[in-house]
Amino acid sequence: MKILSVVGARPNFMKMAPVVEQILQRGIPHLFVHTGQHYDENMSRVFFDQLGMPRPDVDLEVGSDTHARQTARIMTAFEEVCREHRPDIVLVGGDVNSTAAVALVSAKEGIALGHVESGLRSFDRSMPEEINRVVTDHLSTYLFTTEESADANLAREGIAPERVHRVGNCMVDTLLKHVRTAVERAPWTGLGLDPAAYALLTLHRPSNVDDDAALASVMQAISSVSSRIPILFPVHPRTRRRLESGGVPIGNGIRLCEPLPYLAFLGLMAKSRFVLTDSGGIQEETTALGVPCLTLRRNTERPVTVTHGTNRLATTPEEIQAGADEILAGHWRTGESVPLWDGRASERIVDVLVRSRP
């Protein structure tokens, strides 16, 4: 059995690193491909070093582009990889363009596909990630889910239950392995911050940043919160361009910085008072850490972070302010452990693949 694992963008690395480690530990023939969807140092390359991942055997170097052109470039390049190496199984993670592009090629080439983090649904087709999730799941042979709601979503869409395997959360595998080191590095000290005395902000989704009025409204609410607690804002390159082109005012309590390497961000997140985000993965990571989280979206494809974890949706300035007030007053729920989020999801994934070997 030859397994080909694919990464492309920052969220993929945390999902796939423990799976790749398990494959290599078991001596299974493996080819590692990076599409190059994220390619700068802090969004991509530094992750290989910090997560202990092997350097890719193949780098497609597709770079940035429109959704259609980027997807097409990945498909064209990945088709050649498949025809040259003929893997038995292709593994992809998450919901970025690389994931859907690789899924389409694998299906057309008749190669079994495994999807790490299957079944998540926001039920919002305006999100490109939602389209990528649905396409990938319906082309997959092995669907590896993180929570009960994902199983229910796949059943409702007619996916055969024998293809679905609830294994836990690979991002939590990565977090649990590295969080102690991340905290020991004390990344807040170089930023003039004290543990539990700052909040952390990430913002990149089109619904929040592509419309000047929406972005201004969100930033006004967050600026109000920043008058009570410093907010560190590692700015996604796309978001920075929108802030500058729209002339959006930034509160004095908001400190902008470049995107951070994984360990620095993890250490800061673990010791923050709370997190404001529109990221999917950060909702899971804050739940695993027990850190309060305000998700700046109308919906979430990770409902377990709300029902079991420390997450709440907040879209209006009033909801954002009310959530921050509750957290700063010490009234936020602490959350509870999510079943199978125990650091062993990657083991279960590879167990399934080994059992399926002819």
User: Which positions are catalytic?
Assistant: 204
Q: Residue for token digits 């694919």? A: 6
Q: CA separation (Å) from 317 to 157, 219, 313?
A: 35, 9, 12
Record the tokens describing residue 93, joined without a space.
């993670």
Name the residue type at position 76: T
Spacing of C-alpha 261 from chain mean position: 14
Token reading at 85: 């190496």
- Which residue, 271, 274, 318, 316, is CA-closest to 298? 316
Q: Are 8 and 105 in contact (CB under 8 A)?
A: no
Distances (CA, A) of 9 to 14, 47, 90, 323: 10, 10, 17, 30
Separation between Cα atoms, residue 277 and residue 302, nearest integer Å: 13
Measured CA to CA in angstroms, residue 253 lies from 201, 227, 268 at distances of 12, 6, 17
10 Å CB burial of residue 301 (0-12, 13-18, 19+) is buried
Per-residue tokens: 304:
């377990």
